[in-house]
Structure 1
Amino acid sequence: MSAAVTTVTTVVLAKAPVPGRVKTRLCPPATAEQAAGIAAAALLDTLDAAAGVPGGTVVAITGVRGEAVHAAELADRLAGAGVVEQRGESLGERIAAAHADAAALHPGRPTLQVGMDTPQASAELLGRCAARLSEPGVDAVLGPATDGGWWVLGLNDPSAAAALTDVPTSRDDTGDRTLAALRAAGLHVETVEPLTDVDTADEAVVVAREVPGSRFAAAVADAFAEGWGPEEVPA
């Protein structure tokens, strides 16, 4: 990875992959247990990618980790990261709190936030996002998602995430509204490449094909092996 990459705190916003609590839009064709397995795989792959970015990782998590699919492996991976509980009512409040908590654990560092819905976001890609954040005059980076949301947010000043507390989420204009809120706060924002968030079965198969050999691809293939044509199930 290039030496020009800024040392950042990578913030992973996550939900414990408990059956019936995550990825419910995958059911059917997946069962609740399979959907949680897909979520667990996505989270573990994301944690691996975050670990490959210079600096520390902070995981802002909610849910009962002991009831999660792959709970032991998740606990092992979290042991190597800073872990904070999500706080706040709205998603915007939880995002702002996650950046603030990350800044408290690693003072003086920029933050780079991802979720657990884009397991195709590699360490290399996250590193490129951090590099964009280090360019002169850049205050923030934002990666749009193909559903109208966004998948990555980098901030040279983590407290700037407070600008997002009132931005409505889960809408097809959330990404545009987020960009507008950051710019209204006086930030120079650079956008990076869009990615597909995994919410539906079709999206899961599309993304799994982008990351063959990953935990995520294996979990998707296991869940959708029945009822899907062989050309549709990832290898």
Structure 2
Amino acid sequence: MSPRHPVPGPATLLVIAKEPVPGRVKTRLTPPYTPREAAALAEAALADTLRTVVEAPARRRVLVLDGSPGSWLPAGFDVVRQETGGLDERIAAAFDHCDRGPALLVGMDTPQLTVGLLADIGGDGHDAWFGPAEDGGFWALGFADPGRAAALVRGVPMSTDHTGATQRRRLVEAGLGVSDLPVLRDVDTAADAAAVAACCPPGSRFATTVRSLADGER
């Protein structure tokens, strides 16, 4: 593989996601939600995330997907298969789909994401970007040189209350200048869903879905 060199300018934006199939996504939402309702919330969160990424400046937009695309996928994305293995392996492998220049990866659990949070990625002179999550994880991770992702992500324990701290420490210990993005709340539980819906941008499909389920429109 030829060496990669950081190139300033808009970043490649990657979304790592799972097809919103009942029983396979957002299982911590059940109960109180049914598996079908949890999948509807997951689809809404994913659709909002993809819409935001479409509206943000980007060199390229990539959906790293476990499953098959559905009607929720807007135009403008390259779809690639998510690799198998632990989450650290899958995140690291996602960056292999970037050729040159900065790249930022986000998940499907933060539908409150805005274009403003993504607008300056790649052009601010940093070596890495890190978006911490309230639960101790992270919602965004980026590199000016995506070729460094494999060594700096693989082996980080995922889904713990210190995942984010461990990941950020790795970036710093590697000598990277890190830009810290705002803390966001992931949607994992029903309480998360309600709190995130309350701070979603106008027109959010996720907020609309949360409200309709609360009103009994099931």
Q: Structure 2-normalised TM-score? A: 0.89
Aligned to 1:214: 204
Cα shift readout 1:179-233 (whole Å, capped 9, x = no counterpart): 011222231212111000000001100110112431001111122335xxxxxxx
Aligned pairs, number: 206
Aligned: 1:81 with 2:81: no
Following superposition of structure 1 onto structure 2, how do residues 36-51 of structure 1 map, counting pairs within 5 Å?
A: 36-51=39-54
Opposite residue 35 of structure 1, the aligned amino acid is A
Please point out which of 8, 11, 18 is paired with 1:8.
11
Cα shift readout 1:27-53 (whole Å, capped 9, x = no counterpart): 111111111010001101100111112
Aligned to 1:191: 180
Instruction: Give the Cα separation in 1 of the matches to 2:211 and 2:20.
Output: 18
Opposite residue 58 of structure 1, the aligned amino acid is V
Opposite residue 224 of structure 1, the aligned amino acid is A
Following superposition of structure 1 onto structure 2, how do residues 25-64 of structure 1 map, counting pairs within 5 Å?
A: 25-55=28-58, 56-64=60-68
Opposite residue 110 of structure 1, the aligned amino acid is P
Higher relative helix content: 1
Deviation at 1:122, TM superposition (A): 1.0
Instruction: Give the Cα separation in 2 of the matches to 1:9 and 1:121.
Output: 16
Deviation at 1:151, TM superposition (A): 0.7
Opposite residue 50 of structure 2, the aligned amino acid is L
* RMSD after superposition: 1.6
Q: Which runs of 4+ in 1 moved over 6 A?
A: none
Deviation at 1:64, TM superposition (A): 4.4
**Conserved 8 A contact 2:100-2:146:** no
**Conserved 8 A contact 1:6-1:54:** no
Return 5+ residue gaps in structure 2 as ranges.
1-7
